[in-house]
Amino acid sequence: MRQNNAPNGDAVLNEYARLAAEYDSRWSFYIRATSRETIARLSVQASDNVLDIGCGTGAMLAQLAALFPETALYGVDASSEMLAVASHKLPSTIELKQGWAEELPYSDGTFNTVVSCNMFHYIRHPDAALDEMLRVLRPNGTLVITDWCDDYLACKLHDWYLRWRDRSHFRTYGVRECRRLLQAADARNIVIEKYKITLLWGLMTATSQKSTESQPSIETAPMQSAT
């Protein structure tokens, strides 16, 4: 497996090797909140193939399996330790693979839906990762990304601190930057919502679709926000 987000790739792997055993209990509220907000923005059919990028310990995949038992679910994560935890909690029908977002181990047009939750701030090459996410989507497939939102002061301050303190962290984005990245990747029907899950901590969820052909992206819905 090529380490596409070097030089911080080793830092990411080391961080999650250390956290894997206690990750679910340590971040239980955050995992529940972010998974809930992401799943609320999905439209999944029984016949769909759904990929969770940065699936970690499989928390969101477990919820998806309970909600959509007939849907084919897949997960990819860079950390073998996190995947080991996921494999013990998830049904054997869910395929888990080790890999980086910048080089997904799947063929073109494999999935109806691709999701990513709490992972994008680790990606050193977001343009490459978005290209990969859209590559593995089928035409008109849906991409849903939830991550910290730099438009909120608490997230901005935390981002500044982690850039100095934590080599596994890369950066967070605001709504404008997120939209620009998706447009550059030729995503279409871009909708970005920002909202708080605590008094201070804010997230955003970006939903977009893969173009049926190469064309400039078109934003067809205004940004929504919730507090």
Give me the pLDDT at residue 215, please. 42
Q: What is the DSSP letter of 194?
A: E
Q: What is the DSSP letter of 12?
A: H
State the distance between the two ends of the chain, measured CA to CA, in whole angstroms: 40
Query: Which residues are CB-neighbours of 59 under 8 A, at least 6 positions away?
Result: 24, 31, 35
What is the tens place of the pLDDT at every residue in 17-66? 888 889 888 889 999 999 999 999 999 999 999 999 999 999 999 999 99
Q: For the sheet with 111-117, list strands across it.
A: 95-98, 72-77, 49-53, 111-117, 137-148, 202-210, 187-196, 224-225
Q: Where are the domains of the chain?
A: 9-225
Residues (pLDDT < 70) of the chain are 1-8, 213-227
Give me the pLDDT at residue 213, please. 64
Closest to 81 measured CA to CA, from 129, 28, 12, 30 = 12
Give me the pLDDT at residue 111, please. 98
Give me the pLDDT at residue 216, please. 39
Give me the pLDDT at residue 59, please. 95
Sign of the Cα pseudo-torsion (57, 62, 63, 64, in order)? positive
Length of the chain: 227
Give me the pLDDT at residue 8, please. 61
Let me know how many helices (H) and strands (E) the chain has, helices first. 8, 8
What CATH number does domain 9-225 carry, 3.30.530.20, 3.10.20.30, 3.30.300.30, 3.40.50.150?
3.40.50.150
Helix runs in 20-91, H state only: 23-26, 28-39, 59-67, 80-89
